[in-house]
Structure 1
Amino acid sequence: MDHAEAFKRASDGFAARIRAVRPDRWHSPSPCAPWTARDVVAHVINEQRRMLSTVRGVDPEPVHGVGIAEMGTIPELAADADLAAAWDQVGSGHTWDLARATGGDERLDPDVVRQVHEALKPLEEFFRQPWAFGPKVDAPPGADAQTEFLCFVGRKP
């Protein structure tokens, strides 16, 4: 699957989780402490806008009153950054975060999970910095692809 299809599928999955959130769950804590479900969505939207603005060479605007810098220190993208992998990841890992925070469906698209995980492995050192993934979590023996991916990005499924 090409990056455009992976991004579409990841984005569709994230949008479905947003539509499924009950109004009383937006302030529920997410696995990305100290963020709430609302903060996760604002972060994903802000990251999408930031990456797009980088490509366009313009400054991004904040969304839902959450300024981009307020979500954490954001480094400049390296000239050789794998933008496609980064776009896919934003919609993959945070889809699970939103679902976990709101009691939603935590299943991710298995093809997207495999593709994103493989794309991110060579970039692991870059993403282990404080502004990105948490520390890698050891997946249990025999873990499925989704659990392996979530542990790789510092989640505890």
Structure 2
Amino acid sequence: MTTSAESFTARADAFAAILDGAEGRWDAPTPCDDWTVRDVVVHAIETEREFLERQDLSPGPSPDQSDPPAAWRKHASAVAEVLSADGVAEREYDGYFGRTTIAATMADFYGWDLVVHGSDIARATGQQWSVSEKEAAALHATADGWGDALYSEGVCAEAVPVPDDASASDRLLARLGRDPGWAPAA
């Protein structure tokens, strides 16, 4: 059985692999309006740091973000260290969606964000991206738990239509307000 902390780490590692494939295209536009690949990486690092700091957990100094893959790896390592400290992963608090734990939030909200933004970066940099039917179902289930808050400002845009026979990956992206056919301008 995979723990929430392990789930976050797996998603962080997958995000790192996508950054490795970006091959320096940090200023490429992404499906996120007005955000470059670099902006997406900075967003992922800063939002996770802010969450941990709100929980009185220090992920250490902010990494130098001039090299996005290195910054991400340093950050992800710091998060893993925080989560591995005695009692931190299981620590409960009242979150936006109800009572939860630190590790569950890292896996189910911030890790979920990494999957979605991994798609944004992959598509912005010409990489293939997809999720399995099983992972898509898990991501949909997590989003189901957020109800209408999924479409709050700064979370996801309204869903876009896709054909009934769309892939699991395309259905997921469409639900999250992303056009599955988006590609950078030629």
Structure 1 alignment gaps of length 5 or more = 66-76
Is the contact made by 1:31 and 1:101 (CA closer than 8 Å) also made in structure 2? yes
Give the alignment partner of residue 108 of structure 1, picking from 131, 135, 143: 131
User: Which amino acid is 1:114 matched to?
Assistant: A
Higher alpha-carbon Rg = 2
Matched, 1:85 2:103: no
| RMSD over aligned Cα atoms | 2.6
TM-score normalised per structure 1: 0.78
| Shift in CA distance, 111/11, structure 1 to aligned 2, threshold 3 Å | farther
Compute the displacement of 1:59 (Å): 10
1:79 is displaced (CA, Å) by: 6.7
Instruction: Give yes or no for contact 1:47–1:90 (8 Å, CA) kept in 2.
Output: no
Q: CA deviation at 1:131?
A: 1.4
2:160 to 129, 137, 140: 137
Conserved? CA contact 1:133–1:153, under 8 Å: yes
1:47-87, CA deviations, whole angstroms, 9 ceiling, x for partnerless residues? 2212222222679976639xxxxxxxxxxx52726624212
Name the aligned partner's letter for residue 145 of structure 2: P
Gaps of 5+ in 2: 67-94, 181-186
Instruction: Give the whole-Å Cα distance in 2 for the aligned partners of 1:59 and 1:17.
Output: 23
Go from structure 1 to structure 2 and tell me whether the alpha carbon gap of 1:39 and 1:107 turns closer, same or farther (over 3 Å shift).
same
The CA distance in 1 between the partners of 2:3 and 2:166, in whole Å, is: 26
**Structure 1 residues 8-87: aligned runs within 5 Å:** 8-23=9-24, 25-56=25-56, 64=65, 78=96, 80=98, 83=105, 84-87=107-110
State the AA in 2 paired with 1:152. Answer: R
1:124–1:151 Cα change, 3 Å: farther
Are residues 1:146 and 2:147 paired?
no
Query: Distance between the aligned counterparts of 1:79 and 1:130, measured in 2?
Result: 16
From the two aligned structures, give the one with the greater strand fraction. Answer: 2
Letter in 1 for 2:130: R
**Inter-CA distance 111–56: structure 2 relative to 1 (3 Å threshold):** farther
- Name the aligned partner's letter for residue 11 of structure 1: A
Indicate the percent of aligned positions where both proteins have the same amino acid: 27
